[in-house]
């Protein structure tokens, strides 16, 4: 919330990633940036993705600057959760005027999705 309040909406995703990294570091919260994710098909790597931020080796944070979060964004995070075995993801959309108005979406990896 502090990053969005300070910077506002509509900047590039990388700017928000940089600012969130500063915030997490100052708060002493462990995180990694641009964590590679392998996409597998029948035991063969067929592609790769990149998690914007991985917080405390548990929470996948995907940053967006769009008018609204759509199903494709949720599917992307679910893929990262499944690939890495992570339980929780957050989509933070900095394309909205206020994060509390549709700018945050929690994504949970359920048992049937694993």
Each residue's pLDDT tens digit, 55-97: 999 999 999 999 999 999 999 999 999 989 999 999 999 999 9
Q: Identify which of 9, 37, 4 has the alpha carbon closest to the alpha carbon of residue 20.
A: 4
Beta bridge partner(s), residue 63: 92
- Domain spans in the chain, listed from the N-terminal domain onward: 2-113
> Among 20-29, 77-86, 96-105, which range has the highest average pLDDT?
20-29
Triad 82, 87, 72: Cα angle to 5°: 55
| Beta strands 59-64 and 88-93, pairing class | parallel
pTM: 0.89
**Is residue 102 within 8 Å of residue 68, measured between CB atoms?**
yes
What is the pLDDT of the chain when averaged over all its residues? 92
Q: Does residue 112 carry a pLDDT above 60?
A: no
CATH class, range 2-113:
alpha beta
């Amino acid at each position: 919330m502090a990053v969005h309040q300070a910077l506002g909406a509509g900047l590039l995703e990388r700017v928000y990633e940089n600012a969130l990294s500063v915030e997490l570091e100052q708060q002493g919260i462990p995180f990694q940036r641009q964590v590679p994710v392998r996409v597998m098909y029948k035991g063969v790597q067929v592609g790769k993705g990149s998690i914007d931020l991985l917080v405390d080796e548990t929470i996948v944070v995907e940053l967006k600057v769009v008018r609204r979060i759509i199903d494709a964004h949720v599917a992307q995070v679910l893929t990262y959760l499944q690939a890495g075995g992570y339980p929780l993801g957050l989509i933070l959309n900095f394309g909205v005027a206020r994060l509390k108005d549709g700018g945050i979406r929690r994504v949970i990896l359920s048992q049937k999705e694993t």
